[in-house]
Amino acid sequence: MTLPDPAASRAVLIGVDKYAVLDRLPAVTNNLRGMEELLTGPGSWGLDPKHCAVLRDPESPVKVFDAVHAAGKEATDALFVYFAGHGLPSPQLSLFLGLPNSHLGRLYDSVDYDQLRSLIQECPARRRVVVLDCCYGGMAMHGRMGLELPLADLTCIEGTYLMTASAAEKTAMAPEGEDYTAFTGELLKAAAEGVPDGPELLDMGALFTHVRRELRAKGRPVPQQWAGELGQHIALSRNRWTPVPGPEAKAYATALREAAARAGGDVEQLLGDPSLVRRYLRGQSVAPREFVVALSAHGVVLPQAALTRLHTLRRTAQRTAPDTQTQILYWQEEVKLLGSRLAQAGDYSHTIEGELTAARERVRQLDTKVRVLQGQVERLREEKPTRAEAVVEAAVAVSVGEPRGRHRQGGPAGPGSPAVETGTGPKPGRSMGCGGASALLATLALVYLTIVGIDSVGSVTLVYDSGRRPALVGGAVASNDGPAGPQHMWEVVGSVESVFRPDGDAAVDRLLGGLTVSVPKGCADRTVHWRITVDGESVDEGSLTGKREHRVTVDLAQRGVPGKVGFRAWWDGGGSCESFGLVLGSPRLSKSFDLIAW
């Protein structure tokens, strides 16, 4: 963006302060003088005075049209048209620019803006600016040249820009006692004093934003704008605002200069706008993050520590800047940093959540294992006295079966020795000797090992095949006194189904194993259902309720070796009864053996 070429640009300034019928506007004379000084001054377009036509109180619309037509024919770079005076609305809601003899009953003595717009559109200049300081100026935006408010029809070249002092239904303001009208006064003030933290060249868009903000703060009519073909980027003057740098901005600017000097780079040649870079180095503006990042691409290569220090100083300068625009840059970056940290925290929380879920699952499995082991311990405690009594009874039975007339072990034989009493059993109170008990226990152990060995030879373990995979608890004695085997455990929320297959092809005719069901405390009234299937057909099922732990012995006759054995369990849980534990103990297939009595 550059200022227009003075030799190829023209301006027409029209002002009416003396009206025959309408109220006079004495401030308009000052408006014309101020606008002329702006456009012909060195800080603006720098027009030759003869290229800036000033029409004070033109008597007829023809004079206005002739002046605009002549300027439009000569201008090839930029055309500027300004009007200050009364604006008059027609019954058709068109805008007329009031001349000295104009009033609502004599609109033909006014400048029809539609005709004026046509002349401006015919101008070959690539940049055209129209500024209307009048009542109902927003009506100029209705029609082909523009729409109200939006910046529309943006293309790749600069084009037309329209700024009005008021909206289509509003009146402008000429405050008494002030040198200029409200709108033109703010426009000239912005050009003379500059726009804080505005661009090096003040374009029409930046001026509009500043003037609109100032007028709104004072409770005055706010201006309107329309831009076509990037017309808002037409530059009017240089920005004369020179801020006083604060200590943070000074420290940042000093660090920039020192870093460039150490690296041997010419910082003022960076980023294509030396005047803007000079403002950065003087601390008049805070160099943005992109400027620091671009240093390395322009020969200023800094160590990481120095680069980090620059960014720290930059953020401090932005945070403490007097203007809102620079502070917004700081907070935008802060939001990005916080977003990045939150994303990292989210990833960490997801990781922790996954670990906690796995840990909770392990705790549930361990809880089930503990309940199973507690049940086994209680069972062993219950069975121990029973087994001891069985051993004693077996020993007594063997003692009773000794041959008649046989001497007791350790007793003398011969005359004088007591004869062995005959009968079908020992007398009350008589006990068996230690040697007989040892022989009995050895015999029982041999019989037990023989039975277990026979059962083991004809046993085929069931292994997991499909469905929900169980957790292996470890070896345990099956509930129906079979050999040791694995225990498969599930933590069941609603239901579970798993399928097992034989791990071998021995001839078998029995399905053996045991089911242990454990429910949480307070859930004994819930019903747990179970079902066993062989090759898809149900062979056994049942329901368990009324206590916290249930045991089911599985001993089912089979006609042959099954291909698949399924175990399914489900319950009516819910509420505080979230899940129950299920253990399948030593599932296997076995062969039946008939033992002949000895």
What is the tens place of the pLDDT at every residue in 168-220?
444 556 677 789 998 999 999 999 988 887 888 888 888 999 999 999 998 88
| Per-position b or e across 324-344, b if 16+ CB within 10 A of its CB | eebeebbeebeeeeeeeeeee
Residue numbers of the chain with a pLDDT score lower than 70: 136-159, 166-174, 229-230, 243, 263-273, 275, 346-349, 369, 375-458, 473-484, 592-598
pLDDT at 500: 95
Q: Helices 204-217 & 182-193, crossing angle to 10 degrees? A: 120
Cα torsion 557, 558, 562, 567 to 10°: value is -30
Q: Where do the domains of the chain lie? A: 6-238, 247-322, 334-377, 460-590
- Three-class SS of residue 396? helix
- What element of type H or E holds 331? helix 324-400
The closest alpha carbon to 210, from 179, 232, 177, belongs to: 232
**Which pLDDT does position 263 carry in this prediction?**
62
Distance CA(318)–CA(96), nearest Å, equals: 48
pTM exceeds 0.85: no
Q: Looking at the domain 460-590, which fold is it?
A: Jelly Rolls (2.60.120)
Tokens of 58: 């033109």
φ and ψ at 537, to 5 degrees?
Answer: -105, 135
Class of domain 6-238: alpha beta
Greatest alpha-carbon span in the chain: 174
Rounded CA gap, 471 and 453, in Å? 28
Angstrom distances, CA of residue 38 to CA of 33, 44, 149, 176, 236? 9, 6, 26, 23, 9
* Bridge pairing between strands 484-492 and 580-590: antiparallel
Token output for 406? 């046989």
Architecture of the domain spanning 247-322:
Orthogonal Bundle (1.10)
State the pLDDT at residue 392.
55
- Given this model, what pLDDT does residue 359 score? 78
Residue pair 237/78 in contact by the 8 Å Cβ criterion: no
Chain-centre distance for alpha carbon 567: 44
**Tens-place pLDDT, residues 320-329:** 887 777 888 8
